[in-house]
Amino acid sequence: MKLFKMLLVVALQNSCHAFFHPPAQKRTYVPPLSSHFSVISTQITDKAILKKSLLDINDQYTIYNGPTTIIGYNKEQIEVDLAIKQGNFHDIGFKLNNNAYEMVTDLQFWQQNVPPDVFIERLVKRYTLNTIYLTCREEGFVTENVHEYLDTGVTEIVVSRYDH
């Protein structure tokens, strides 16, 4: 029996270049034509990991599996694949577009404790970590230790696997 250990060091700051192919340009708010909804692009592709990552950020979220409809200014509506309930009835949605989820919301009704760009940054970090954990588990590795260095944004993950 041989023990294999692997140390994964993930520097997760503005985006996760090591694990995703970032878009050619910086993430921007792109409101659709004649709508008050804002769209924020991501490289998130897995709905189950997206949902888990949202609950990791805030385990008090009520999440609706779609398709469901969210409401914006002047009762405008858009159908999304997943939504986070907000107390003001103007929820935050995630819509699959070109194999990646976009966050869709009317920013004037944003009720989170952080601005949208910080929210997305935290979500992408959790999504990346959850993807790494899942991949390691599928490859037979066990997570031994996780250490997050808050001052640098680096997360260190130690995994191991016994090979028979």
Whether the bond between 67 and the residue before it is cis, its omega within 30 degrees of 0, is yes
What would the pLDDT profile of 114-154 be if each residue is shown by its tens digit? 999 999 999 999 999 999 999 999 989 988 888 888 888 88
Q: What pLDDT was estimated at residue 24? A: 43
Q: What pLDDT was estimated at residue 27? A: 52
Alpha helices in 37-91 (DSSP H): 47-57
